[in-house]
Structure 1
Amino acid sequence: MTIDEYRQHDALGLAELVRKGQITPMELLDLAIQRIEAINPDLNAVIHFRYDQAREEAKTADRNAPFAGVPFLVKDLGMEIQGMPMCVGSKGYRDYISEQDSFAVQKMKRAGLLILGKTNTPELGLTPFTEPKLFGPTKNPWNHAHSPGGSSGGSAAAVASGMVPLATANDGGGSIRMPASCCGLFGLKPTRGRVSWSALEGELWSGAAIENCVSRTVRDSAAYLDVIQGAAPGDPYIIAPPKRPYLEEMGAAPGKLRIGWSGAHTLGLPVDGACQKGLVNAVEALRSAGHTVEEVALPYRKEDLTEAFLVVVAGETAAALDLMGAYLGRKVRPSDVEPGTYALNLLGRAFTAGDYAFAKHKWGEITRRIAAFHEKYDLLVTPTLAQRPIRIGALQPTPTEDRILAVINALGLGSAVKATINQLAEKIYGYMPWTALANLTGQPSMSMPFHWTEENLPIGIMFTARMNEEDMLYRLAGQLESAAMFRSYS
């Protein structure tokens, strides 16, 4: 098999070739490593490598496993692999080595996936772009001047460029769906509680974050979620298991759905014409498939969403730095993390327990409002992002903002940081006004490409369903896959 032939197959297709004896796991690993070594020095998608261990595992690979012998990459955040670094994009964790596999990683290995390494992520997964100071920025394979999104940008760049057919991603505010949109991939955020976190974590970001993957085909995503879904002892959320495998769901008809769509920016800002064009294309595809589609007003207020999300994320960042301090054996210093991370931590400490409780009350209020919306509509459809993939560096703090953050961090002025953090947050919300909703409510939500810009950049459209209805999303994705604008990278 040549590299070009390797890149034409999805993960299930490669596993089928292994089962038929047409190729060996070792041969697949060699092809993936060849591809990584050829293009990763430019893209900077993979930051830790595990070639020797993967080759040892390939010798005893179960050829009847669903992903038998398939090369695979894991995001360097959230999922622990025994003996591997987990830096989460931070200098404070640059020497951390995982002592055990996460529950989901154990499932990945049993499913036949051969883990070759770990992919780049912004520090603590905090931004919708992947530009950690520790490892440097990851480039979008389709246009190297632009970002692959975040925080799963390393995984998305690796999959889009053909290093591997799928890779792990996780999503606390859009971090599966945004990189999928920026790189022309399929990405689905599951329902809260669908996938267990690490052996040491019950939840991340107060239940907002969850694990899945980015992939080039819908069926790979469905089969992967079949593998990793399910709770572990001690998990805080236990939800109903799927009625049948998601891989079976994507081949079933979704029925006639009632769908509400909106292209209105939650902050009242203009939306990029390319994103509007993608939305038009998706609405036309839905109507052609026989669904009832109508424009709706967004069923929540932007003030509730942005403030409620910021309070919790700031508090979680403060807690994350406390955990880092426990690992380091001392209090975290501003030099251990990036300026924006340290400032967000200070803001988290300036908020009170009452602020956090009130924010969580708002989460519940928004969730009730969205549930009322779904009494009438099966899906809410919006662009995934309000702008085409940004240029690398576009959302970084300006030099003035950096100087302000440096002073605030040096003096520990948590109460003074809010105005600067709000200014930075407004820039980021301007780019990603819709994705965080499903993280607050816990709903499943997916992104599929429905347009390409003149700069050869993909535009994703987001479909959000009721709680526990990943099955419907996979059925719809299977129906729309031929109408969506997936492209092969060359």
Structure 2
Amino acid sequence: MQILPDYDDFDATGLAQGIAAGDFSPEEALSTALARVEALNPQLNAVTQVQADRARETIKAGVPKGPLSGVPFLLKDLGAEAIGFPGNNGSRLLKNTTYSYNSNLVQRLLAAGLVVFGRTTSPEGGIGCATEAAVYGGPTRNPWNTDHTPGGSSGGSGAAVSAGIVPAAHGSDGGGSIRIPASSCGLFGFKPTRARLPDGPASGEGWGGMAIEGFLTRSVRDSALLLDICSGTDLGAPYVAPPLDASFMDALETSRKGLRVALCTTTLDGEPVDPECAAAAEAAAALLSDMGHHVEIAHPEADTAGMMQAWTEIVACGTALGVQHKLKRLGRDLLPDDLEPVSRSACEFAATISGAAYLDALETVHEYGRQMAVFFDRFDLLVSPTLAEPPARVGRFSHDRESYLDYRLGPDGVFAYSPYTASFNATGQPAASVPLAWSRAGLPIGVHLAAPFGADELLMGICAELERAQPWFHKRPPLAGMRAGEGSRVNE
């Protein structure tokens, strides 16, 4: 089957438009994606469970006529229950879990005409900021430099989109798991307001309402379109997001002036971060100022450290619950090789948390949301780095550590590395990572923007304005020039 030579020139929206116009076919788009998996995945280890024949049969049977008909797509291997696509959830214990139904999110994606052909790697249970699960036989690597991580927990999706395997992919975010890979891979990642997207029918809430679905994309409009496709509550949902005024796509064309922008170049607790990351946030704030917004240096007066302790307790309990459910279905006890050390330690820690202590952790998270709401009563946006430093080297955040608490809260733990993102899972606010900077070593550095609860359209519109002011679409990683059979391409 013919390979599309200009595949990189299209985002998912553009690819769908080309297919609809008859410029190329869904078969050609799928064949190109599969060829890139074959050429690049041995170096990246980002794509798993490739089901080429199933995807071809989907096309042959006729994909639904939707806004993304015929576009090849990948689901994260964490949640996203889908008929015919077993889930590992990054775990040897959960390997090859089959599903008799499609999640509501997956159902909406399929109805839009996307052609799912595989899954992308994630760390065990989604609790890491790197993607190095043993079930996949090794770490997932960053296309910009394979010695570095693409982030987590949607690291496989980040690597696959950045390398050009697919123009967009599914992700999820319970503490930064879309925005961390977006920052690490030079992509756009948008975490919408709590309950903007469906969780059902398998779950009413993830991690006390802190986890939400989403996408990794090369363009802002792809994220906007995917969110429009999937937005809306599902039956029995315990939360509901404030209604949108129009749509995410409409927000792309809405120009705003005079927004009140807070710039924070330290952590939210006032600790210093890598100078290159701080400089990226400063440059973004200067760009916003040039666009007519009012910028001042400020950071929230909120107990971020206390929130992260509570977050860590809630996620430990969530990890233990998932393990217990699987063992119950298997009808056996936990075996020594079922879990990696961090996950096993999380389960052991969860066993020390009483019901009252769990509820107290939830109250701490809710109180943090109220503290942040006071800050966002003064500001329309908070701008910071996405991470405290450029992408970490592979191995630094592997799950080989024996202490879950040290992994999350220690001086070289996840929270020190990613001190911003989880705050907005706790509050439920919309937040995004925008690829506006690269380090001297050529690694992507994301800029993080957060907006008040429910202000998704405002945030999406600002991200679109930043994209127009400082385009990034054609910045490609070195690995993108190493695809078999497609000639050489240098990084731009």
User: What is the TM-score when the length of structure 2 is the normalising length?
Assistant: 0.93
Candidates 431, 434, 442, aligned match of 1:445: 431
1:208 is matched with 210
CA displacement at 1:357 relative to structure 2: 1.3
2:173 is matched with 171
CA displacement at 1:476 relative to structure 2: 0.5
1:275 is matched with 277
C-alpha distance in 2 between matches for 1:421 and 1:285: 36
CA displacement at 1:256 relative to structure 2: 2.2
Say if 1:66 and 1:468 are closer, same or farther in 2 by CA, change over 3 A.
same
CA displacement at 1:270 relative to structure 2: 3.3
Checking the alignment, whether the CA contact within 8 Å between 1:69 and 1:113 is kept in structure 2 is: yes
Say if 1:76 and 1:397 are closer, same or farther in 2 by CA, change over 3 A.
closer
2:442 is matched with 456
Q: Do structure 1's residue 10 and structure 2's residue 39 form an aligned pair? A: no
1:222-253 Cα distance to aligned partner (Å, 9 max, x none): 00000011111111112233221211111111
Say if 1:2 and 1:82 are closer, same or farther in 2 by CA, change over 3 A.
closer
5 Å-filtered alignment, 1:80-159, equals 80-135=81-136, 136-159=138-161
Checking the alignment, whether the CA contact within 8 Å between 2:317 and 2:350 is kept in structure 1 is: yes
2:371 is matched with 369
Checking the alignment, whether the CA contact within 8 Å between 1:260 and 1:377 is kept in structure 2 is: yes
Say if 1:446 and 1:277 are closer, same or farther in 2 by CA, change over 3 A.
same
1:443 maps to amino acid: Q
CA displacement at 1:391 relative to structure 2: 0.3
1:125 maps to amino acid: G
Candidates 293, 307, 311, aligned match of 1:305: 307
Candidates 473, 480, 486, aligned match of 2:459: 473
1:255-284 Cα distance to aligned partner (Å, 9 max, x none): 321011111124654311110121121111
1:148 maps to amino acid: P
C-alpha distance in 2 between matches for 1:309 and 1:206: 9
User: What is the TM-score when the length of structure 1 is the normalising length?
Assistant: 0.93
Say if 1:226 and 1:61 are closer, same or farther in 2 by CA, change over 3 A.
farther
Choose 145-154 or 93-102, whichever is displaced more.
Answer: 93-102
5 Å-filtered alignment, 1:398-409, equals 402=402
2:376 maps to amino acid: H
Structure 1 unpaired stretches of 5+:
406-416
Secondary structure of the residue that 1:27 maps to in structure 2? Answer: helix
C-alpha distance in 2 between matches for 1:479 and 1:98: 41
CA displacement at 1:424 relative to structure 2: 4.5
CA displacement at 1:303 relative to structure 2: 2.7
1:344-396 Cα distance to aligned partner (Å, 9 max, x none): 11101101112111111111211111111111100111110001000000123
Say if 1:198 and 1:333 are closer, same or farther in 2 by CA, change over 3 A.
farther
1:69 is matched with 70
Choose 340-349 or 251-260, whichever is displaced more.
Answer: 251-260
CA displacement at 1:218 relative to structure 2: 0.2
C-alpha distance in 1 between matches for 2:412 and 2:157: 26
Secondary structure of the residue that 1:124 maps to in structure 2? Answer: helix
1:25 is matched with 26
How large is the Cα RMSD of the aligned pairs?
A: 1.8
Say if 1:84 and 1:196 are closer, same or farther in 2 by CA, change over 3 A.
same
5 Å-filtered alignment, 1:376-391, equals 376-391=378-393
5 Å-filtered alignment, 1:236-385, equals 236-266=238-268, 269-385=271-387
CA displacement at 1:4 relative to structure 2: 4.1
CA displacement at 1:59 relative to structure 2: 2.3
Checking the alignment, whether the CA contact within 8 Å between 1:3 and 1:35 is kept in structure 2 is: no
Checking the alignment, whether the CA contact within 8 Å between 1:83 and 1:100 is kept in structure 2 is: no
CA displacement at 1:440 relative to structure 2: 0.5
1:483 is matched with 469
Checking the alignment, whether the CA contact within 8 Å between 1:445 and 1:462 is kept in structure 2 is: yes
Secondary structure of the residue that 1:481 maps to in structure 2? Answer: helix
Checking the alignment, whether the CA contact within 8 Å between 1:48 and 1:117 is kept in structure 2 is: yes
Say if 1:139 and 1:390 are closer, same or farther in 2 by CA, change over 3 A.
same
Secondary structure of the residue that 1:461 maps to in structure 2? Answer: strand
CA displacement at 1:55 relative to structure 2: 0.9
5 Å-filtered alignment, 1:185-224, equals 185-224=187-226
CA displacement at 1:172 relative to structure 2: 0.1
Say if 1:14 and 1:213 are closer, same or farther in 2 by CA, change over 3 A.
same
1:392 maps to amino acid: V
Q: Return the structure number with greater helix share.
A: 1
CA displacement at 1:62 relative to structure 2: 4.8
CA displacement at 1:339 relative to structure 2: 1.0
1:71-102 Cα distance to aligned partner (Å, 9 max, x none): 10110001011021101010001131122111
Q: Point out 4+ residue stretches in structure 1 off by more than 3 angstroms.
A: 1-4, 60-64, 266-270, 420-426
C-alpha distance in 1 between matches for 2:368 and 2:389: 25
C-alpha distance in 1 between matches for 2:141 and 2:309: 31
1:124 maps to amino acid: G
Secondary structure of the residue that 1:331 maps to in structure 2? Answer: coil
* Count of residue correspondences: 474
Checking the alignment, whether the CA contact within 8 Å between 1:397 and 1:424 is kept in structure 2 is: no
C-alpha distance in 2 between matches for 1:397 and 1:70: 34
Say if 1:421 and 1:385 are closer, same or farther in 2 by CA, change over 3 A.
closer
2:56 maps to amino acid: R
Say if 1:267 and 1:372 are closer, same or farther in 2 by CA, change over 3 A.
closer
Checking the alignment, whether the CA contact within 8 Å between 1:448 and 1:484 is kept in structure 2 is: no
Structure 2 unpaired stretches of 5+:
481-492
1:411 is matched with none
Choose 262-271 or 303-312, whichever is displaced more.
Answer: 262-271
CA displacement at 1:63 relative to structure 2: 7.1
